[in-house]
Structure 1
Amino acid sequence: MSASAYFVKSLGIIGATAGIALISPLPAHAVSFTLSNITGTWDNVQGTSVFNGTGTNQVRWGSPATISGQSGFNFTSSSSLVSVSSGSNFVLGELTHLNFPVWAGTAASGADLDLSMAIDGVFHAFNYSFLINETSNTAGTCPVFQVSNTPCDDKIDFSSPFSTTTFQKDGFNYSLELLGFSHTLDGLSPVSSFITEEHKASSAFLVARVVKDGNNDVSVPEPTSAVAVILIGLAATGMRRSKNHKWVR
């Protein structure tokens, strides 16, 4: 076999082998994290100038229209230590909406939840914005999301599932994704909106998961890429050694 033929054949073997390595990634595996000291405080109340309790886990807003008092949010964090796996749902804590009537023009349209927690012993801060759809409470004018018999239900949403904060483990960036609200502690089937009945305090569990960030600045090569590099290096070494042999046409 000529030197040129050998070189072409070697390149073909390298390309095929590296291609298999690149298109056949190793099975993904979950990464474990330990979360502790989870706290949540409210900030940036929007849509009203009548509010109090920012910087705490209980924020209130509006001029009360009944003896029930102001509307508001409470947040109660989960237990002091939570072990989670990447990609798996877990409960951050419990959110309570105090849905009490307030006078027009004093209702809030949004509030931010500032979450702080230690992840594997390192503290990180996350911020999520919640949107509040405060209704008029007039029979016959309730929105399409109305589910109770009391006019009119309110709706709580969040504007983005991701905070700007990321954190690293084993050379990869991870994010804390907010999945939604659940009425069960397992958090397996969260919904994106929390519908609450007027004249009541309603609670739901806030569900999240740790996910690998889409903009990873990876400090080490992916396992499959590393395999391809090794194979190319071995093939190159073989070709260098072949130069010491006599080629036969």
Structure 2
Amino acid sequence: MVQLSKGAKSFSILSGTAALTIALAPALQAASFTIDNITGTWANLQGTSVFNGLGTDQVRWGDPATLSGQSGLGFQTTASLGLISSGSNFVLGELTHFNFPVWGGTAASEVDLLLSMAIDGVNYAFNYTFTIDETPNVAGLCPAFQISSTPCDDKIDFTNPFSSTTLNKDGFKYTLELLGFSSTMTGFAPVSSFITEEYKASSAFLVARVIKDPTSVPEPTSLLGMLFIVLASVGIKRRVFR
């Protein structure tokens, strides 16, 4: 066995530390994910037989009481996000509530948004339910949530909590979080419902982010690779055969 000198040992340990730092770099840096093929379509409309647009990005309901047309909901997705860094918020699409007078007995009460996207080529799907409160447009009979001076505002509630799903990247675990709807595209100003004046529209933006699991460690194969690098660099139990 060849005995390494003190200086050589120190150099080997430094080399091993550098190698370990390089090996652990993906854990310390933000990961990037490709997010595309985002779609949002409407399904399972309840409460009326007068509707159109199911299976598309805009659903309309009710027998119009004016020439303005039907009430409805639309979801315009972001065409393609490209590379997204972990830890950063991003917008998946814009939700819009269109409020126009419809005749009593023809209003909808509930509808689902079917959201899907591809992350690094893998497809993910999420379902959300919205409740619809179409009010009688009669002064003095408006609901407690009325905020405008026009009889009467309608309300859309986002009834179920937003979802998350686990992703894997470079041996580490990440979580895709759908944070909810925001009144602004910059920052995150959450809203849980729309209260929309008659003949008007309300909009909000669906915000998401990908975060690294703080307890995540590399998969066993990755750990073995790192261990091999360190052992090789430090020179533990190095033998030279003559």
Q: Is TM-score (shorter-chain normalized) higher than 0.5? A: yes
Partner of 1:107: 107
Is the 8 Å Cα contact of residues 37 and 81 (structure 1) preserved in structure 2?
no
Partner of 2:177: 176
Structure 1 CA distance, aligned partners of 2:160 and 2:124? 18
The one-letter code sitting in structure 1 at the alignment partner of 2:96 is T
Q: How far off its partner does 1:31 sit?
A: 4.8
Q: How far off its partner does 1:116 sit?
A: 1.6
Is 1:200 paired with 2:200?
Answer: yes
Partner of 2:33: 33
Give the alignment of 1:55-74 within 5 angstroms: 55-74=55-74
Partner of 2:145: 145
Q: TM-score, normalised by structure 2?
A: 0.68
Q: How far off its partner does 1:212 sit?
A: 6.8
Give the alignment of 1:229-248 within 5 angstroms: none
The one-letter code sitting in structure 1 at the alignment partner of 2:173 is F
The one-letter code sitting in structure 2 at the alignment partner of 1:138 is V
Structure 2 CA distance, aligned partners of 1:166 and 1:141? 47
Q: Deviations over 1:195-236 (max 9, x none)?
A: 2111123322222334579xx999849xxxx9xxxxxxxxxx
The one-letter code sitting in structure 2 at the alignment partner of 1:33 is F
| Count of aligned pairs | 195
Partner of 1:52: 52
Structure 2 CA distance, aligned partners of 1:71 and 1:202? 12
Q: How far off its partner does 1:53 sit?
A: 0.9
Q: Which runs of 5+ in 2 are unaligned?
A: 1-26, 224-242
Is the 8 Å Cα contact of residues 166 and 173 (structure 2) preserved in structure 1?
no
Q: Deviations over 1:18-59 (max 9, x none)?
A: xxxxxxxxx997654331121111111112122111111111
Partner of 1:117: 117
Q: Which runs of 5+ in 1 are unaligned?
A: 1-26, 227-249
Structure 2 CA distance, aligned partners of 1:99 and 1:45? 16
RMSD after superposition: 3.1
Identical columns (%) = 67
Q: How far off its partner does 1:158 sit?
A: 1.4
Change (3 A) 1:138 1:124: same
The one-letter code sitting in structure 1 at the alignment partner of 2:75 is F
